[in-house]
Structures are given as C-alpha cells and as structure tokens.
C-alpha cells in the first residue's frame, strides 16, 4: 500500500495518470483558527524580505514598514543584472537600493536596512543575518520570476533551477539551523496547479481525493507546471512539505495570479521610490504589456486565440495579502498553509479588449510562443483572503488604477524600446518556427510607434 508521501511523489511526476474525484465537502472551505479574527493585527513584527528590491518585494517592503513593522531587505540585484543581459530597462527609472531606502527614510522617518546577499549561494551570510536580526517572519521573493526567461535558453533554464531551488533550500536550512521559530511566507504562483486540470474549482493548496479502495484523503494538489519557472515553484512546494514535516518549520505558501499595476500608496510619495515596470516579452506581465502597447498607440499582441484564462491581482493587493499571511501564521506542528492570492479570473482576449477600449487601439492575434492550451476555464477559490478582510481591486474598479498605469506609460514611454515588446523566448522549436512571422509584426510596430 502506498504511503501518502509516496503518493504525492507520484502525483508530482505523473499527474496525467491519476484520477481525481472532488468530494462534496471540498467546496466548503474555512479559515484556520489562526485568522485575522484571532490574531492581533497591531502586533509589530521583525521582517526580512528576500528579494526586496524586486517588482513585488519593493512595494511590499515599503507597505510593511509604513505599517510599523521592522523591515530588512535582502537582494543580490540579479533582476537589475538581467536588465543588462536582455538590453531592456524598466520603463520607470528605478533608483539604486541605497537611494531608495534613504528616500524612504526622508519621507517616512522609518529605516529599512539593505543587505546584498545571494540567497542561493551565500548561505553563511544568510544564516548570520537571521541569527542577528531574529526575525518573526521571512518573506521569500528571491526567485527568478519569469516563465519566458526560464524557457529562453539552456542558461536561463539552469539558472532558474539553481537560483530558485537552491535559494529555497538554503532558506529552509538556515531557519532550521538558527534554532529560531521563524514563519516563512513564500510567494508562489497559480501556475503550480496547471490550468483547468482539477475537474472543477481549484481549492487552496489541498484537494480532496478518493484513493484506491475508496479511501478518502486530503492531499497537496497535484503539480502540473507549464515552464521551468513553474516547475521550480512546484518543487518549492514539495520542499516546504518536507521541512515542515521534518523540522516543524512554519510555512505559508501564496499561489499568486498575474500582477498588474505599478505604484502603491507608498511608492508614489517620492519619485525615487517608484516601482519597476516591465513591458518586455520576457518579464512584462500580460496586462502591463497590453497597457504599454495601448499607451504607445500600437496594436495589442494577443498570443494564440487569447482564450487562456488567468488569475489577476493588483500590486497594492499583493502587499496587503502578504501582511494578512504574515499576521496569520500556522501554529507549530500544523501543515503548510496555502492561500490562492488572486482577485479575479479573466480571459486574456477579454483583458485585451478592455485595454483596447480604454486606449483606442486594435488587437492583433499572433502565434503563441508558449506550449499551452489555446482555451481553458479557470475556477479558483480565494475564500481565505476574502474571509480575512481583503477587499480586492478588480480590473473594472472605479478607483482609477487602470488610468494610473496608463498615465505611467504616457509619462515614460520615451524610455520604451518597441522591439522588446514582442516575445523573444519560445517553449520549443515548434513554437519558435510558428512565431517566425512575428518579426514582420515587430518591424511594423516599430514603424508605427507614437513617441
């Protein structure tokens, strides 16, 4: 008879060979006992933010500092180095880490420490910092976050695995070695589930199944990654399960949707605090890429049929979700807590139509560089964050955030390189061949760009 741990390994390696049966009670989810209703949100914590210089890490660091938490940023600036490698800078002019934290001190009176540490390589420095700071929480953003970059080349694939898995393992080892009771909060991705593979609503991390012999169990949702990047997030989840079982580490894993937006109430307080805005084919999220094209007056390039359904969340809500997770840790000995961190689901072509309506540009279907289903449904549970008090911003919210992003694009579009917007990474040789016609589209876009 298979042990559950063995069964989980089979699920990871052979997801297509397992049959899942959603049990009637699987749609009725409730928050764990450690919710916002039982935790004092006024308690201030010592927090280390790994990857705190990045797109999600920087605004989260400012938000937590603004709320009175003691924040230390750790980052090796690899994302800035990748800008140089790709020859494409952030649309917004981002300041150096030291300039950023100094500016935050000026406008807020609060101090954020910065340490240049490679989490995947500098284990001794990471362990020493944890022992010195004695954090209540470590938020883990320190991973290569772009699926296209992870599929760009052999180098990109190997770097993504080495950096992401090595960093997660080092973090878990360091927390265990420190002897401290530190809560790890990890930013994962909705992509660990695959899209439309559950046979119904995607639950928050764990799924009810019927095993051979009619045995009922609640297990980690099977992994079905769509890129090397997504595969590393699946392996992260398995790593957390092990260290939780073996060393009783307290871990919360956040499966986040596609992030849109740029600024938050904290980053707008000074030009030096502005968040990065990626629009290129490798790092630009689909909505920001559409907004970039719309702001420049060129057609929105929709991959394939645009029938892919994805989860979306605004960057401001990302920061709020991180605090909710931080304030509601699992108790010692409890299993890894998992939240689905999304505000809504939308088809890509519907998102493109929204941007086209706002900006007055056309949409253009282009061959898809990714190996994925042309159309999929996506029904996702996000009850935990909603029950904890999150009131998410949606794409059609009336608070002007859509317009704010368009304003950012208009202000800085002179910094855009139109040649970088279209995809430059392909999932396999067949996809690369199918996308050969994109070169002509790229030339036309460059010619028609309104700057």
**Catalytic residue IDs:** 189, 229, 233
- Are 149 and 82 spatial neighbours (Cβ–Cβ below 8 Å)? yes
What span, in angstroms and rounded, lies between the C-alpha atoms of 271 and 267? 8
CA distances (Å), origin 191, targets 163, 187, 205, 302: 19, 12, 12, 19
> Which phi and psi angles does 118 have, rounded to 5°?
-90, 105
Angle at 167 between CA 166 and CA 170, to 5 degrees: 85
> Which phi and psi angles does 51 have, rounded to 5°?
80, 30
What span, in angstroms and rounded, lies between the C-alpha atoms of 422 and 412? 19
Of 426, 331, 444, 363, the C-alpha closest to 35 is 331
Angle at 24 between CA 35 and CA 210, to 5 degrees: 100
């Amino acid at each position: 008879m298979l042990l559950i741990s063995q069964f989980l390994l089979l699920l990871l390696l052979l997801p297509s060979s397992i049959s899942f049966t959603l049990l009637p009670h699987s749609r009725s989810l409730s928050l764990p006992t450690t919710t916002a209703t039982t935790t004092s949100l006024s308690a201030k914590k010592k927090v280390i933010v790994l990857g705190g210089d990045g797109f999600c890490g920087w605004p989260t660091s400012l938000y937590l500092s603004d709320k009175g938490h003691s924040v230390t940023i750790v980052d090796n600036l690899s994302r800035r180095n990748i800008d140089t490698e790709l020859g494409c800078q952030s649309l917004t002019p981002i300041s150096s880490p030291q300039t950023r934290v100094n500016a935050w001190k000026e406008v807020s009176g609060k101090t954020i420490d910065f340490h240049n540490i490679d989490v995947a390589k500098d284990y001794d420095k990471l362990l020493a910092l944890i022992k010195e700071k004695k954090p209540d929480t470590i938020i883990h953003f320190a991973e290569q976050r772009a699926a296209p970059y992870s599929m760009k080349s052999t180098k990109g694939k190997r770097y993504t695995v080495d950096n992401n898995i090595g960093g997660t393992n080092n973090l878990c080892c360091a927390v265990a070695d420190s002897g401290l009771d530190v809560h790890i909060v990890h930013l994962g991705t909705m992509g660990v589930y695959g899209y439309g593979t559950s046979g119904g609503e995607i639950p928050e991390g764990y799924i009810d199944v019927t095993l051979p012999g009619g045995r009922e169990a609640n297990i980690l949702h099977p992994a079905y990654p769509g890129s090397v990047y997504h595969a590393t997030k699946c392996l992260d989840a398995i790593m957390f399960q092990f260290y939780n079982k073996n060393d009783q580490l307290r871990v919360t894993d956040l499966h986040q949707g596609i992030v849109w937006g740029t600024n938050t109430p904290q980053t707008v307080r000074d030009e030096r605090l502005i968040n990065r805005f990626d629009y290129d084919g490798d790092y630009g999220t689909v909505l920001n890429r559409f907004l970039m094209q719309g702001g420049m007056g060129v057609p929105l390039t929709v991959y394939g049929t645009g029938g892919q359904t994805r989860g979306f969340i605004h960057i401001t809500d990302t920061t709020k979700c991180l605090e909710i997770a931080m304030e509601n840790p699992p108790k010692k000995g409890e299993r890894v807590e998992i939240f689905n961190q999304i505000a809504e689901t939308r088809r890509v072509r519907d998102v493109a139509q929204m941007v086209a309506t706002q900006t007055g540009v056309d949409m253009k279907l282009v061959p898809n560089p990714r190996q994925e289903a042309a159309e999929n449904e996506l029904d996702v549970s996000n009850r935990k964050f909603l029950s904890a008090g999150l009131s998410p911003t949606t794409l059609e919210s009336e608070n002007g955030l859509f317009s704010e992003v368009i304003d950012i694009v208009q202000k800085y579009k002179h910094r855009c390189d139109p040649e970088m917007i279209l995809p430059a990474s392909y999932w396999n040789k067949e996809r690369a061949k199918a996308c050969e016609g994109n070169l002509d589209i790229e030339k036309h876009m460059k010619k028609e760009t309104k700057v």
